[in-house]
Structure 1
Amino acid sequence: MSEIVDLAHVRLGDRPLAVCDVDDVVLEFLHPFERFLDSLGHRLLPRSYRLHGNIVSARDEVPVDDALVSQLVLDFFEAQEDWQTPFGDAVSTLKRIGESADVVFLTAMPPRYTLMRRRLLDRLDLTFPLLATESPKGPVVRQMHGARPLPLAFIDDMAHNHVSVAESVPQCLLVHLMPESEMHRHAPKPGPHVVQARDWRDAEAHLLKHFSNH
């Protein structure tokens, strides 16, 4: 059962809305997480697009127990302020987008780590509203946007999140943006209805074109 997502602090104006994922879209996740694992004597092998089964002991490459992998991800979220850095030109690009559109961060993360992420984003001067949830993203975007007759865009690195948003808000522009890495080469590809962005500059061009056509 999905948790209730509190949108009370999200105030939208009479202008387009860009909903943006955070990990490996606004903030680097994979590379800092690999350094975090290394500091604890573990290593990530890019054998598939999964963490479970691919995190091993650096000493003997024995896979780490699934329960410990899950805990390591939570520990990383707890310590994210010490490890995560901006992804590409996210900071400057989002500030430009924010001049003509509302921007809301929608991050797939247990809500109890919201405060840490909020501090980190604020430190980067990315003060846009933040929602942390483990619920499917589509219904959250639909709840946020409502029936507003204004352009809507969604930026994310995960194919299943684009599927969720497409089902809930069919009129939304879907932009797929992710890092280049050996592990990301195994990532599921989004459908043909999703725009592929090479980097933040490319994503910005797609968003601004979409916003100006409405």
Structure 2
Amino acid sequence: MTALHSATVAGLDALSLGDRPLVVCDVDEVVLHFLKPLEAWLDRRSLWLHAVSYGLTGNIKRKGSADAIPKDDVAQLLIDFFDDEVGRQDAVEGAGAALANLAGRADVVLLTNVPHHHRDRRMENLAAHGLGFPVVTNDGPKGPALARLAARATGPIVFIDDSPTNLKSVLAAVPEVHAIQFVADERFLALAPDVPGARLKTNRWPEVETYVAALVAD
């Protein structure tokens, strides 16, 4: 299993988990919009997102060109995007209310693959949107992080993410997890491949809240 970054280990081990169910939730395109601000940011750089398949690599092009920019360039664009925009992303409708309601019966943790050095800016932005939950930064597939949390959890565990890679990683590491695939953007929700073992695929937070509330009911 992939080794965890020291910042991830520190963040996970610092969490105070109670004797309650655990909800672990991704941030980008789940509780905060990612694609909308990314497309506006790309437009200012004469780039655009051609949403013909799930993911960014192969879909970002220069205006006036049919050729997608290389994978390495996409990786650098994401670094630059977060440098510029991590403190300004807007909340996905219903995310704050749903997680606040669930927090009455479960521990809520936000597990995000934003670069580790942006953790404070991400936390400030989340808090401004009423999403002031513990934030742990991660890199790579999230299975190892969930396995570390599951070793301490005593109740049901829910994992919410947009990425099929992360969902598959978590389900392989912690098969008992209740996995939910959430993709806020309608286009990418339709393009996202179904993940075997996921209990729900949606872009509506009331649906998530209904499912999880039934699972964690007293």
Deviation of 1:83 (Å): 4.2
Aligned-pair CA distance for 1:203 = 0.3
Please say which of residues 165-174 and 199-208 is displaced more in the overlay: 165-174
Which amino acid is the alignment partner of residue 86 of structure 1? A
- From 33, 36, 40, the counterpart of 1:35: 40
Query: Following TM superposition, by how much is the alpha carbon of 1:179 offset from its aligned partner in structure 2, in angstroms?
Result: 2.2
Contact 1:21 1:157 in 2 (8 A): yes
1:15 corresponds in structure 2 to: 20
Following superposition, the deviation at residue 192 of structure 1 comes to 4.5
> Which one is further off, 167-176 or 33-42?
167-176
Write the distance in 2 (CA, Å) between the matches of 1:117 and 1:193. 27
Q: Within 5 Å, give how 1:2-151 maps onto structure 2.
A: 2=3, 3-4=5-6, 5=8, 6=10, 7-81=12-86, 83-151=88-156
198, 204, 207: which is aligned to 2:209? 204
Change (3 A) 1:125 1:171: same
Q: Using structure 1 for the length normalisation, give the TM-score.
A: 0.90
* Match in the other structure for 1:156: 161
Cα distance 1:48–1:114, how it changes in 2: closer, same or farther (>3 A)? same
Matched positions, count: 213
The aligned runs of 1:173-188 (5 Å cut-off) are 173-188=178-193
Unaligned segments of structure 1, at least 5 residues: none
| TM-score, length-scaled by structure 2 | 0.88
Structure 1 residues 192-201 or 105-114, which shifts more?
Answer: 192-201
Q: Which runs of 5+ in 2 are unaligned?
A: none
Distance 2:193 2:117 in 1: 28
Out of 183, 189, 196, the position equivalent to 1:191 is: 196
Q: 1:197 to 1:54 in 2, by over 3 A?
A: closer
Cα distance in 2 for residues equivalent to 1:30 and 1:145: 30
CA shift, 1:94, in A, is: 1.0
Q: Secondary structure at the match of 2:186?
A: coil
- The answer on whether the counterparts of 1:177 and 1:198 sit within 8 Å (CA) in structure 2 is yes
Query: Can you list the C-alpha shifts for 1:86-117, whole angstroms capped at 9, x where unaligned?
Result: 11210111111112211000112321222221
The alpha-carbon distance between structure 1 residues 83 and 101, as it changes in their structure 2 partners (threshold 3 A), is same
Contact 2:50/2:60, CA 8 A, preserved across alignment: yes
Question: Retained in 2: the 8 A contact 1:36–1:83?
Answer: no
RMSD of equivalent CA atoms:
2.0
Moved more, 71-80 or 186-195: 186-195
CA–CA separation in structure 1 for the residues paired with 2:76 and 2:128: 26
